[in-house]
Amino acid sequence: MVQLQSWETNLAPIALEVKDTSIEDLVTKLCPPGTLEHQKVKAIFNWVCHNIEYDLEAIKNTELISTDPAEIFKRRKGVCCGYSCLFEEMCRVAGLECVQISGGCGENKIKGKSLHSWNAVRINKEWKLLDPTWAAGYVNSDRTKFFFEYDEKYFLTDPKVFIEDHFPDDSKWTLLPETNQVARGA
């Protein structure tokens, strides 16, 4: 069994030595045999949040938005759908069940107006919510600079807290007991 503290300490050097390899090579290094599900999720989430920059050019020109995990990995840039697609693909490679969720966020609470995407991942048969985009950092008010500033709040967030600023198009992904079957392992 991998010790969590030593595993987290060793994550940074591994992430630094992985530069121009493939998603598969990276996941193999981040999640060696014996890594527990929650450790895999944490390693992948941390890597995405610390290595993918928000793509400011794609905000200005939506034709530049990519949902191709390989492209996001290579360029090290993406918007929310890029972050969530890359996270989902890395989880798939690690043998984890993960989905991308679309919906409103922040002030945009209009159902069916998907302006954001994030993920749910299944750990020990239970779905958990996370948002690698919002956890990675923030864009300044005039949208000219991205600041890496990791925020643990968006990692495996309690659904009651997550719903305060994330509004999935499909209400089952609130993971609140009164709205879905997914949270109960269905």
Point out the residues that are catalytic: 80, 116, 131
* Angle formed at CA 53 by CA 47 and CA 99, multiple of 5 degrees: 60
What CA–CA distance (Å, rounded) separates 121 from 109?
A: 23
The count of residues in the chain is 186
Contact 136, 54 (CB under 8 A): yes
Give the DSSP H or E segment for 88.
helix 80-93
From the number of C-beta atoms within 10 Å of its C-beta (0-12, 13-18, 19+), residue 182 rates as middle
**Start-end of H helices in the chain:** 4-17, 23-30, 37-51, 56-60, 69-75, 80-93, 132-136, 159-162
